[in-house]
Every structure is written in structure tokens, then in C-alpha cells.
Chains A and B, each alone.
Chain A
Amino acid sequence: MAMPTPATVPDVESGAAPLSAAPLATGRSPRRLFTGPVILSIAFLSVVLLMAVFAPFITKISGWGPYTFDPTAVDPATGGIPIGPFGGISSEHWFGVEPQSGRDIFARIVYGARVSMLIALSATLLTTLLGVLFGMLAGTFGGALDQVISRVMDFLMAFPTLIFMIALLSALPNINRPLMLITVLSLFGWVSMARIIRSQTMSLNRREFVEAAHASGASRAAIIFREILPNLSGSIIVIATLAVPTFIGVEAGLSFLGVGITPPTASWGQMISASVPWFTAVPSYFLIPGMFLFLTVLSATVLGDRAQKLIAGGHRL
């Protein structure tokens, strides 16, 4: 499938390879944390996060709520095309208005950020917890438990995730969509984390310092929490950081297909979907949510990549 689904996120998978390897063979190992692109990414993500957190205040300042219709901003003679240049951009409507309804696009972008961040961050938190838990269980105890967990993971990897998510979401009743999206994304999303944690736990278990801890009489819990987990933290941070943009993308994709966040709640993917019939007449209608989605995913990916390079180069985060 064209969209990376969380169970088979290829860049998380392939990106995980160099984690255990020696410093990346890029000639010189990266030292600086804050490069130009990283600073830009952090700045952009901060803006999006602030929009998400303070959405009601921001729309109070801008003057238009996400659900308020403004019939004066669209031209009924042309079938509802926004009045003014670039989709009706004015001091009143900062990003223009939707065709026909005249709803303020700025307000919908701000509220869309809220949905996007809520779902992506919750799903990341949940998949990280599940992934680390199951990965460490399988890696530490091995045997039958490992067999069961590994088989479940194999099964989830073979699953046509996107089709199934769509079918599941379309069958589920239409209440609390964000919670359902988080659940469905997490159900399939923990596997990529768990697979890497499992194999790294296994190799850590064979290392001398773990053996030494065993020999000095440390309890199993002490070994897990004092020896293994701190050594996994780098990988966990990297995979979690790279999972955020994936979940943002998948949520937007599902909403674009009409099975994610349902109207009237604003979501970037659903805004792009609504703009399709208008894309020749009002290009700003798809360009604005599209660019927000693109830049958000891009910034989060840049951060994840940087974290991965630094850790591969022997840094601790």
C-alpha cells in the first residue's frame, strides 16, 4: 500500500538497522544536535503544538470559530467560490474560507492541529508502552512466551492493515472517533517497536555487564530496570520520534478516505478530501491543509532522523 501503515512502517524498520551497528559510515560522526533543519523543525512543530493547545484562544483572537458559516465571504453567483484573491484571504479570514459554506480555514487548521496532535501523540505513547512491554517480555523470558508474542507479531505483519483498519473503522459506531482511531492505530502500531526491542533485549542479555549483574546477585527486576531499560532508551526515543509522523500521516489518510475523523470536526486529511471537487477553482483550499500536513510530518521526520544519527554516533540523549 502506498501509505506506510504503522505495523509495517518501512522507514522505522530500515532506520532501526544502524542503531546496533557501529557509528554510521558517513566519514565524520555527527556531533551537533541543533543544525539548521533541526531548529526549523522544532520551531514549526512548536507552532503546531501551540495551535493545538490554545486553539480556542487563537480562534477568539482571529475572530472566527471552526464551525461558523460566513455566507458573505462566498459568491453565490459562482456556486460558492470565495470572494477575493487566493481563496478569499483577507484581514478577516487569514487563510481564506471554504467554498460554499464560508467557514474560516484558519480556524479549521488550528482545530485540525488539535485532532492531529492528540491522535498521533496518544497513539505513539500507547504503542511505545505496548511495544516496550511485549518486546522486553519476549526478549527477557524467551521460551513459550516469546513464541506466542512473536507469532502474534508475525500475524499482525502479514495483515493487510490499511484495508482492515478501513473496514473496522467503517463498521464501528460513530461515537468518539478520536478514541477509536487511537485504539485502531495502536492495535497495529506496536509491532515495529516490539520487534526491535525484543531483538535488542536478547542481545543485551548476552552482554558481560548483565552477566556481571547476575553474578553479583541482582534481582531480575533490578536487571531489567537498571541494566536493560537504560540501554534501550536510545532506540525507544528514536522509534517513538519516527512513529509520530507516521501516525499523523495515517490519521490524515484515514480521514481523507472518510473513515477517520468525521465532519463537522476539522481534520487536515478530511479538509483535503473536501477540497477535491474544488481543486481547479480554489487551489488554496487543498494547498493550505496539505502544506501544514506535509511540513508537520517533515519536521517530525527530520527530528527523528537526527536523533537516530546522534545515537548511532554514540551520543546519549
Chain B
Amino acid sequence: MSSYIARRLLWAVLTLLAVTFFTFLVFFALSPDPAVAICGQTCTPDRIATIQHQLGIDQPFLVQFGTFLKGIFAGRTYGEGASAIACQAPCIGHSFQNGEDVLTMIFGRLPVSVTLAVGAAVIWLVFGISLGLVSALKSETGWDRASMVVALAGVALPNYFLALVLQYVLVVKLQVLPFPSSVGFTEDPGLWFQSYLMPWIVLAFLYVALYARLTRTNVLDTLNENFMRTARAKGLPGSLILRRHALRPSLTPLVTLFGMDIATLLGGALITETVFGLNGVGKLAFDAVATNDQPVIMGVTLFAAFFVVIANIVVDLLYRFLDPRLRTVTR
């Protein structure tokens, strides 16, 4: 088991390294010179050269990449002398446009993304699994069809369109919700909840659909298994069979999916955050793209990849723990 974990960790480090390398390569090869952007309109070639030197982008590609990697573990300093900027380890870059370390910026935005992800997750788990269960247990009835129509609509509805429709109906026409604003929980909990309600629903809707479909398929598959017949033959009551025998194997695959989905969302729900103007990690990335703030784009990409890779390992281990069949096979 420990050698398995070690192998997974090594692989995770390699993946992150590859992600960093490719992101770095793309920006190195394709992006317009950030020094020109920083320098502004009244600019001389000398000044550009100075800024390039300060950013370290006058160095060859591999040297730059090496400096970046070193910064993650040991920290780094941009420029020399009085104007030098120190970025402490783990340093994943410094935004000269904002005068802040990228990691500090990301951590500043993380609470919003976490709030959004967790709230939406509660909604999609509750509704997704219940819809899927109803659909499977009342298979081929009106209930089944209605649930699956909701699920299908959820898959097909673009979330930015749903966001506009909800805002138009709930805020403009019915006036039951205020326009979304960034209110802290401590300032006004009621308004905070109302502000997050629409983003939660919009973000959750797609996942409700996916989880409902997956739950339905899994439960229907499990109901056909031999051990279900055995349980029924033993004369166990229906509710017990459902809870003990049907639900556990049906919901285990959802654990994998859930882990990956949450991890992805912690890296920022880019569209939902942008549409509702929530200052999360996704909006940070989007704004950085708009202003060509390369260190921030790189930082967020790396940060998001980090969550996905870690979640991959955690989910794998959890899966082995949850599914008894896998445990005996791989011991």
C-alpha cells in the first residue's frame, strides 16, 4: 500500500511539473512582451530592457523555467538593489501589475470560490442523488421521465444563459432577490445568503443533472446484481436492502466524481464567478487574461492543477477504502 502511495505521489509531482512546463512554454512562445505592457505609452528601448531584466525574461527559456521552479521551493527575488522585490517560498510568481505575490492574490480570492463551491455542492448532492434515486426506483413511470427531463435540461443549459434568465425573472420581474453584490457573511448574513443563492443554483444545476443521471444508472445496475437477489431471497425488508445493499455500491462511483468536481471548482468556477461578479479565483484568472497579467494566469493554472492532482490521489485511496471488492483484490 505504501509503495502504491509513493508511486502515486511521484506521478503527481511529475504531472504538476509537466503542467508548469507547458504553461510556461506557451507564454514564452506566444504571449506579447509583458515588459512593453508594464512600460506603457511613453517608453524607451532602454527602459524595456531594464524591465525585462527585472522580470528575468531576458534569460534563455530553460534558465527562466529553472528560476521559476526554484522559486516554488526556496523563494526568489525579482531584480537587484533597492528596487528588488522578494517573493517568499512557495513563490509561484509576482504580479507587477498589482504589486502583489500571485499566491497572496489567490489566497485572498479563495474564500469566495470555496463558499461558492461548497454551497453549490450541497444543492447538487441533495437534488442530484434524490432525483436519480426517484428515477431509478420509479423507473419507467412519469416520475422517472420528469426527473430525466430535468437532468437533460441541466446538461444542455449553458450556465451563463441560466444566470441571465434567473436574474431577469427573480430580480427584475418578481423582485424576490436583490442584485448580486459582494457582501461579507459577518456584515449581513441575510443579504449574504441572498447574494449567493443564484450563483449556487446556477453552478449546481449542471451537476444536479450529471449526478442524477449517474445515480439512476448505478442504482438500476446494482438492483440487477446477484447479491440483491440473495438479499431479497433471505427475506430482508425492502428498505434495509435499499440502504445496505443497493445504495452503497451505487453511490461509491459518485465519490470519485465528487472529489474531482470539488477540486476543479476550488480552482475557480470561472464562468459563474464572472457572470455574477464574484471575486473568486476563477474571476481572478479571467481578469488576468483580460489584462494579460501572465504571472497570475500561470499561477492560477498551476494552483488549479495542484487541486486536481491531489484530489485524484485522495479519491483513489478513498475508493479503495469504500469498495470492499477492490480492497481484497489489490491487497
Contact = CB atoms under 8 A, between A and B. Distances in A.
Interface of A: 1-4, 8, 10-11, 14-15, 17-18, 21-22, 24-28, 154-155, 158-160, 162-164, 166-168, 170-172, 245, 249, 252-253, 256-259, 269, 272-273, 275-276, 279-280, 283, 286-287, 290, 293-294, 297-298, 301-302, 305
B198 interface: no
Interface stretch (B51-59, B90-98, B187-195, B284-292): B284-292
A160 B224 contact: no
A168 B312 CA distance: 25
Interface in B1-53: 11, 15, 18-19, 23, 26-27, 30-32
B297 A286 contact: no
Interface in B124-166: 139-140, 152-153, 155-161, 164-165
Pick the 7 closest A-B CB pairs, nearest first: A160-B304, A298-B156, A290-B161, A171-B30, A297-B156, A25-B220, A25-B224
A167 B289 contact: yes
A62 B265 CA distance: 44
A232 to B, nearest CB: 21
A253 B159 CA distance: 9
Contacts of A154: 11, 15
Contacts of B159: 2-3
Contacts of B165: 287, 290
Interface size class of B (residues with CB under 8 A): 35 or more
Interface stretch (B69-77, B234-242, B266-274, B317-325): B266-274
**Of listed A11, A22, A28, residue having the most chain B CB within 10 A:** A11
Nearest to B264: A1
Interface stretch (B81-89, B101-109, B206-214): B206-214
Given A11-B210, A21-B221, A159-B19, A253 B257 contact: no
Given A167-B26, A249-B158, A301 B152 contact: yes
25 contacts: A1-B264, A1-B270, A2-B271, A3-B158, A3-B270, A4-B206, A25-B221, A26-B139, A158-B19, A158-B305, A158-B308, A163-B270, A166-B286, A167-B26, A167-B289, A171-B31, A172-B30, A257-B286, A258-B290, A269-B158, A276-B164, A279-B167, A279-B168, A298-B156, A301-B156
A170 to B, nearest CB: 5
Contacts of A11: 155, 210, 213
Given A163-B268, A168-B26, A245-B156, A27 B210 contact: no
A162 B319 CA distance: 27
Contact of A2 (B23, B155, B206): B206
Interface of B: 11, 15, 18-19, 23, 26-27, 30-32, 139-140, 152-153, 155-161, 164-165, 167-168, 172, 202-203, 206, 210, 213-214, 217, 220-221, 223-224, 253, 257, 260-261, 264-265, 267-272, 274-275, 282, 285-286, 289-290, 292, 297, 300-301, 304-305, 308-309, 312
Contact of B220 (A14, A24, A163, A305): A24
B269 A1 contact: yes
A171 B160 CA distance: 24
Contacts of A305: 152
A147 B260 CA distance: 23
A170 B206 CA distance: 26
A195 to B, nearest CB: 14
B257 A167 contact: no
B272 to A, nearest CB: 5
A269 B220 CA distance: 37
